[in-house]
């Protein structure tokens, strides 16, 4: 009897892009790579591009994705690692780039929407693709109250801070703060304390992606707190509301077999 091994499905090809926009981090390596690629494949603006190629590390990838969101573009972004960690990036290879882009697989990311109110009453809105976190500004520990869907879930958390991450961001600061890694398909948001002092044994919560979370800063004059949405920092906040914004999304491209979902699973087995 002969047993046949089923063939692995071949990823569907997207059209070979004719117009590529190259974005480079402000480093010599990234800038030189952009110049070489642009000379070979051409270079167009973000608004004209079929695909955006981001050259840098994870931080510059987040900057590029925010530009896509701010411009209300649906253009997918493909990262090539010219930085250090490169969790969101693909290997740096210059040959046959359009054909390589046609074989990529996509991951759609929804950002968190943050509304932060300062002690002067100023309101700031921001999007975060990695996380929103609060942290103490002085030697005094922060004192926070946490409401989820208008129900007080934690009356008082004394800590260095707290964060909510997207599934894609769960392997970043959230993981360093001993929060759980969440798969992209999990429809969950990790809520993780940063160095909790009281309640000492509280390790956070996994919330449904539909949850609306409010952080209220207690004793804010004595214990000032800042809020950060990705790279945007707001000082002296008194209240911060966070929820996932399903009305907005960005598309990130990965080489076959190296999708973001696969990387998040693999991260849980790494040493």
Tell me whether residue 175 is annotated as binding: yes
End-to-end alpha carbon distance in the chain: 42
Residue 138 marked ligand-binding: no
130 marked as part of a ligand binding site:
yes
As a whole number of angstroms, the distance between CA 167 and CA 181 comes to 7
Q: How many whole angstroms from its chain centre is CA 83?
A: 16
Is 58 annotated in the active site?
yes
> Exposed, middle or buried by CB within 10 Å (0-12, 13-18, 19+), for 113?
buried
> Which two tokens mark 225?
């707190």
Residues near 111 by beta carbon (within 8 Å), at least 6 away in sequence: 69, 127, 128, 129, 166, 244, 245, 248, 249, 250
174 is in an annotated binding site: yes
- For tokens 């392997």, what's the residue? 171
Is 271 known as a binding-site position?
no
Residue 29 marked in a binding site: no
Catalytic residue among 28, 35, 50, 58: 58
CB 55, CB 24: distance < 8 Å: yes
Contacts for 246 with CB less than 8 Å, ≥ 6 apart: 110
State the CB neighbour count (10 A cutoff) for residue 199. Answer: 13
Q: For residue 143, give the H/E element and its range.
A: strand 142-148
Grouping H, G, I as helix, E, B as strand and the rest as coil, residue 111 is coil
Residue with tokens 């004394």: 158
Alpha-helix residue ranges (DSSP H) falling in the chain = 28-41, 58-70, 97-102, 173-176, 260-267
Query: Annotated binding residue at 171?
Result: yes
Tell whether residue 241 is among the known ligand binding residues. Answer: no
Annotated catalytic residues are: 58
**What residue numbers does the annotated binding site cover?**
58-59, 130-131, 160, 168, 171-176
**What residue numbers does the annotated binding site for NAD(+) cover?**
58-59, 130-131, 160, 168, 171-176
């Amino acid at each position: 009897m002969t047993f046949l091994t089923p063939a692995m499905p071949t990823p569907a090809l997207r059209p070979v892009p004719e117009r590529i926009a190259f974005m480079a981090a402000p480093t010599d390596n990234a800038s030189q790579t952009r110049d070489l690629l642009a000379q070979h494949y051409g270079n167009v603006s973000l608004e004209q591009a079929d695909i955006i190629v981001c050259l840098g590390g994870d931080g510059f990838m987040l900057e590029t994705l925010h530009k896509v969101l701010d411009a209300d573009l649906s253009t997918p972004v493909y990262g090539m690692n010219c930085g250090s960690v490169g969790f969101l990036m693909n290997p740096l290879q210059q040959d046959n780039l359009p054909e390589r882009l046609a074989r990529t697989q996509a991951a759609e990311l929804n950002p968190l929407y943050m509304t932060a109110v300062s002690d002067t009453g100023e309101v700031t809105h921001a999007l975060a693709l990695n996380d929103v976190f609060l942290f103490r500004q002085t030697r005094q520990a922060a004192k926070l109250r946490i409401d989820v869907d208008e129900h007080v879930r934690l009356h008082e958390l004394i800590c260095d801070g707290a964060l909510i991450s997207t599934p894609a961001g769960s392997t970043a600061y959230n993981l360093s703060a001993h929060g759980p890694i969440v798969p992209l398909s999990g429809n969950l948001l990790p809520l993780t304390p940063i160095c909790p002092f009281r309640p000492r044994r509280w390790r956070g919560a996994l919330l449904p992606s539909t949850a609306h979370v409010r952080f209220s800063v207690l004793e804010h004059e004595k214990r000032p707190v800042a809020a950060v949405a990705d790279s945007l920092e707001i000082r002296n906040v008194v209240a911060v509301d966070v929820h996932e914004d399903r009305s907005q999304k960005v598309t990130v491209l990965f080489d076959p077999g190296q999708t973001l979902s696969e990387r998040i699973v693999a991260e849980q087995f790494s040493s």
